[in-house]
Structure 1
Amino acid sequence: MDIFRAEARPSRRVAEEYFTGEVWQDPIVETPEPARAKAVRVIFSPGARTNWHTHPLGQSLHVVAGIGHIQVWGGPVRVIRPGDTVWIPPGEKHWHGAAPDRAMTHIAIHEHIDGVHVEWLERVDDAQYAVAPQDKPAEA
């Protein structure tokens, strides 16, 4: 058993090449082989968002605070709220981030294949981000 002390794992600002706006991560766990799980708490300032990206084994997001937006390539922008959990299947192109006027925090959980847990793609430009969300509850 390992205990990972919070004070030994400081918050870090994420790479600007993969995100727009101010985004911070707090590591939760990155399991050693043969396990493949990684989890981080991600804090998006208002208007901040990821680039378009995919995950080879999918991704789960659990919103813990604020209001967020999420979109699958070719689909509508959706609103996500505290308590919502989103499953993104393997290879599905998507982005997620905070609403324009609200911060958002979520827990991101994903697995890796040979150390790869994400493929970063192009930025979500301001016109794509500005599309009004389809505001309805997530599907069960």
Structure 2
Amino acid sequence: MKNLHKRIEFIITLSLMSLCLHPCQAQTNESGNKRTTPSAIFPKGEKGPSQTFTGTVWVQNLVAADSTYQLASGSVTFEPGARSFWHSHPSGQILLVTDGVGYHQVKGKPREIIRKGDVVKCPPNIPHWHGASADSPMTHIHVVPNTEKGIVNWLGAVTDAQYNGSR
């Protein structure tokens, strides 16, 4: 368990250092308002499959699961309104929000707003979902520990009512 904590701390430290080293760029959103966002830390990756995501999502694998580190990590970018399906992880999941505003919900609890700089802990074997808000993209780095127990169990799509905050 001590080694797991050290591995997670290492990934978090590297991720936060990367954020600090990349300059910000001013961008204009659709309503003409300027907002500052960091330049991309990692490549956008591949488009996420419609069997596990609603809307446009980009997934970049960062650390593939293996028997040495026993964790998996990746960067996921959700365009406005996009979200994951309900899913769970045998050993839980940690999200490091690196850009934007989004939502996270654990089954049976209210939807939460998550923002750049937030760290979210998803408990083991508990269904949850996460994605961008309706008017902002959201990017996070995910860390899945103890991958020898499995990585992810995909469940059903998040309904529009659930996405909009109804249980």
TM class, shorter-length? 0.7 to 0.9
State the 1:31 CA deviation: 4.2
Partner in structure 1 of residue 158 of structure 2? 124
CA contact (8 A) 2:96 2:119 kept: yes
Structure 1 spans left out of the alignment, 5+ residues: 1-8, 133-140
Please tell me the residue identity of whatever aligns with 1:51: F
Q: Report the more deviating stretch, 72-81 or 33-42.
A: 33-42
Structure 2 spans left out of the alignment, 5+ residues: 1-42
Q: Between Structure 1 and Structure 2, whose CA radius of gyration is higher? A: 2
Q: Partners in 2 of 1:56 and 1:79 — Cα distance?
A: 24
State the 1:46 CA deviation: 0.2
Answering whether residue 148 of structure 2 is matched by residue 113 of structure 1, we say yes
| TM-score, L = length of structure 1 | 0.83
Please tell me the residue identity of whatever aligns with 1:87: K
Structure number with higher helix proportion: 2
CA contact (8 A) 2:44 2:77 kept: no
Percent sequence identity over aligned pairs = 41
Q: Partners in 2 of 1:45 and 1:10 — Cα distance?
A: 11
The Cα RMSD (Å) is: 1.6
CA contact (8 A) 1:27 1:41 kept: yes
CA contact (8 A) 1:56 1:113 kept: no
| TM-score, L = length of structure 2 | 0.70
Please tell me the residue identity of whatever aligns with 2:61: P
Partner SS state of residue 113, structure 1: helix
Count of residue correspondences? 123
